[in-house]
Amino acid sequence: MTNMTDKIEKSDAEWRDALTPEQYRVLRRQGTEPAFTGAYWSNKDPGRYLCAGCGAELFGAQHKFDSGTGWPSFSQPMAEDAVETEQDMSHGMLRTEVHCARCGSHLGHVFLDGPKPTGQRFCINSVSLEFEPEE
């Protein structure tokens, strides 16, 4: 069993081999999938969302809400240390980027216009996630 603190490091070539081209574009090149196109933006099934890069548990369906944006949106991660954030000044905007704490793969961004009690909106690309339905 891999501990959450065990970071996963791969070379760029290894990531290219391990991921689909679209996963590579988003996870390793900070890309964004078009709104309303991903597999999970409207998914309401109970379960867990794992990192598509390393399988780490990132988000739970109990924290998912309909943001109307066309991207899977969560009010919080499953555990506080599951994700890390970084200031992102690309595209002429100041945003807070969110990535997997274990493998560093880009997930999306977090905004402060989410529902109570956290007020956070984790806006996450479907392609960065793998949904594991509850048994």
| Closest to 104 measured CA to CA, from 128, 123, 120 | 128
Binding mask 71-110 for Fe ion (x = CB under 5 A): -----------------------------x-xx-x-----
Of the pair 16, 42, the CB lying nearest Fe ion is at: 16
103 catalytically annotated: no
Burial 32-69 (b: 16+ CB within 10 A, else e): ebeeeebebbebeeebbbbbbbbebbbbbbebbeebee
Q: Which of 19, 27, 51, 110 binds Fe ion (CB under 5 A)?
A: 51
The binding site for Fe ion (CB under 5 A) comprises 51, 53-54, 56, 100, 102-103, 105
